[in-house]
Amino acid sequence: MADTVEFAKMNGLGNKILVVDMRGRKDRVTPEAAIALAADQATNFDQIMAIHDPKLSGTDAYIDIVNCDGTRAQACGNGTRCVVQALSAETGRKAFTFQTLAGILNAQEHQDGTISVDMGKPVFQWDKIPLSEEFHDTSRIELQIGPIDNPVLHSPAVMSMGNPHAIFWVDRDPMTFELERFGPLLENHPMFPEKANITLAQVISPTEMVTRTWERGAGLTLACGSAACSAGVSGARTGRTERKVDIIVASSPNRGKLSIEWRADDHVIMTGPAEWEWSGNLDPVSGSFTRDPEPEVQAQ
Q: Assess if residue 296 is contained within a domain.
A: no
Asked if 162 and 74 count as a contact pair (C-beta separation under 8 A), the reply is yes
Whether residues 236 and 177 fall in one domain: yes
Average of pLDDT values for 79-108?
A: 96
Which residues does the annotation mark as catalytic? 76, 224
Q: Assess if residue 258 is contained within a domain.
A: yes
Asked if 217 and 67 count as a contact pair (C-beta separation under 8 A), the reply is yes
Whether residues 256 and 133 fall in one domain: yes
Total domains in the fold of the chain: 2
Q: Is 215 annotated as a binding residue?
A: yes
Whether residues 218 and 132 fall in one domain: yes
Q: Is 225 annotated as a binding residue?
A: yes
Closest CA to 202 of 161, 158, 234, 162: 234
pLDDT value at 295 more than 80: no
Tally helices (H) and strands (E) across the chain.
4, 20
List of residues 6+ apart from 266 with CB closer than 8 A: 121, 122
Q: Assess if residue 38 is contained within a domain.
A: yes
Asked if 209 and 201 count as a contact pair (C-beta separation under 8 A), the reply is yes
pLDDT at 294: 82
What is the distance between the alpha carbons of residues 14 and 255, in angstroms, rounded to a whole number?
10
The DSSP element (H or E) to which 227 belongs, if any, is helix 225-237
Whether residues 26 and 105 fall in one domain: yes
pLDDT at 298: 46
What band does 299 get if pLDDT is binned at 50, 70 and 90? Answer: very low
* CATH for 46: 3.10.310.10
Whether residues 194 and 69 fall in one domain: no
Whether residues 99 and 128 fall in one domain: no
Query: How many C-beta atoms surround the C-beta of residue 141 within 10 A?
Result: 19
Q: Is 44 annotated as a binding residue?
A: no
Residue-range definition of the domain harbouring residue 25 = 3-110+273-289
pLDDT at 296: 65
What band does 1 get if pLDDT is binned at 50, 70 and 90? Answer: very low
- 292 residue type, one letter: D
Q: Assess if residue 299 is contained within a domain.
A: no
Express each pLDDT in 77-87 by its tens digit: 999 999 999 99
Q: Is 163 annotated as a binding residue?
A: yes
Q: pTM of the prediction? A: 0.90
Q: What are the CA-CA distances from residue 54 to residues 20, 22, 51, 91 (Å)?
A: 15, 11, 9, 16
Q: Is 111 annotated as a binding residue?
A: no
